[in-house]
Amino acid sequence: MNKTYRIAPSILSANFATLGQEIRDVIASGTDIVHFDVMDNHYVPNLTIGPLVCEAIRPLTDAIIDVHLMVKPVDRIIPDFAKAGADIITFHPEGSEHIDRSLSLVRELGCKSGLVFNPATPLDYLDYVMDKIDMVLLMSVNPGFGGQKFIPEMLKKLAEARKKIDAYTEKTGREIWLEIDGGVNPENIADIAKAGADTFVAGSAIFKNAKDTDPNRYDSIVKSLRDSLAAI
């Protein structure tokens, strides 16, 4: 069976002085999703970007904007990103006072919803809210900073998440994407896909490998990722 794989460049690794062009180039190079990391310096020890940036880039691309909220409390900020043009909004269970209610809020605002799991966060939360989830995002690094290495033990957790998702899809017919974020590169993306991921966030691996000789600067690195997936 041919599987659809989606590549989601994380713009946190892009050149913010030319962010609009970076997004145009990376999507034109063959990626699928704009991954948008939001950190609040409370839930994670870093401060990044907010809804104004999401609103600014929304007119630049028809690609899906996937907003990953590393904030606490999360309910306050969800409406701002829905209004700013997010297509998918994911958050961490630890960031919500009431997970079901937060997922429902995302959907009520017209976005797809998802839960994010840190390496040490158990997947048990999924068992009670699968009907409100469109994406499961597993962190393969501990969030807060880019450029970290993939944690190999996450392959087992990916397989466990895939098993849960497949059982739910077989029962309901509804698709849930399984996304991985952290340390993804051309050397390990095939093993990550074999473990069950279908959507791959890549930041440094893409944006640190721009080539001015490529028509869209990122064609070569994206092709390398695609070739690794095609070889499975």
Catalytic residues: 37, 181
Q: How far apart are CA 114 and CA 139, in angstroms?
A: 13
> Helix (H, G, I), strand (E, B), or coil: what is residue 126?
helix
For 192, counting Cβ atoms within 10 Å of its Cβ (0-12 exposed, 13-18 middle, 19+ buried), the class is: buried
Residues in CB range of 206: below 8 A, 6 or more apart: 9, 10, 13, 26, 31, 218, 221, 222, 225
Yes or no: say if 57 and 67 are a contact pair by the CB < 8 Å rule: no
Token pair, residue 96, equals: 């919500």
Q: How far apart are CA 90 and CA 103, in angstroms?
A: 9
Angle at 54 between CA 218 and CA 43, to 5 degrees: 100
229 C-beta neighbours (distance < 10 Å), count? 18
Q: How far is CA 128 from each of CA 115, 131, 210, rounded to the nearest angstrom?
A: 12, 8, 42
Q: Which residue in 189, 114, 182 sits closest to 145, CA to CA? A: 182
